[in-house]
Amino acid sequence: MEHIPDDNLPWYKQFWPWFLILLPLTVVIASVITFFISQKNPPSLVTTDYYKEGLAININKQLEENAKKLGLSATVTIDSQFLTIQLTGLRSQPSQLLVDLKHATLSQFDQSLKLMPIANSTYQTPFKLPKPGKWYISIKEPSQAWEIKKAALLKP
């Protein structure tokens, strides 16, 4: 049996042309797969009305300034059963607190809660521990004269 050198083989029977064709073909296939994954699981927008959010920034800043002028601060405690907020610097105790919990990237986990007083300047509500990650916490009284904002990193 006679051995034929690689140089005399047709191109489709040699290794290197197929290797060079396979590289861009792999990229094309990966791109198509990535496209279908992105269409099936689109990223959620944190907000849908950027104009309205932009106008509300000045109002929100004023509410935060009001809380600073009043000397208000909050300690937030989240355990497996309750969300507890201890306020300091209150002159009069509101009948309830309004709390917005917003996940940094997953808006479907956002929550709005009403906390009732359980002791002097301490508010609590039954609460299921949310998804781990970065959360933004907004604390307001019902008249919305002030607002305290915090960020928390919840670990599993």
Neighbours of 74 (CB within 10 A): 19
50-154 classified as CATH 3.40.640.10: no
The reported pLDDT for the residue numbered 155 is 81
Residues of the chain with pLDDT under 70: 1-7, 44-47
For 73-113, what is each residue's pLDDT tens digit? 999 988 888 899 999 998 888 899 999 999 888 888 889 99
CA distance 122 to 135: 21
Q: How far apart are CA 152 and CA 156, in angstroms?
A: 13
CA-wise closest residue to 137 among 155, 152, 122: 152
Contacts 24+ apart (CB under 8 A), 9-17: none
The domain spans of the chain are: 50-154
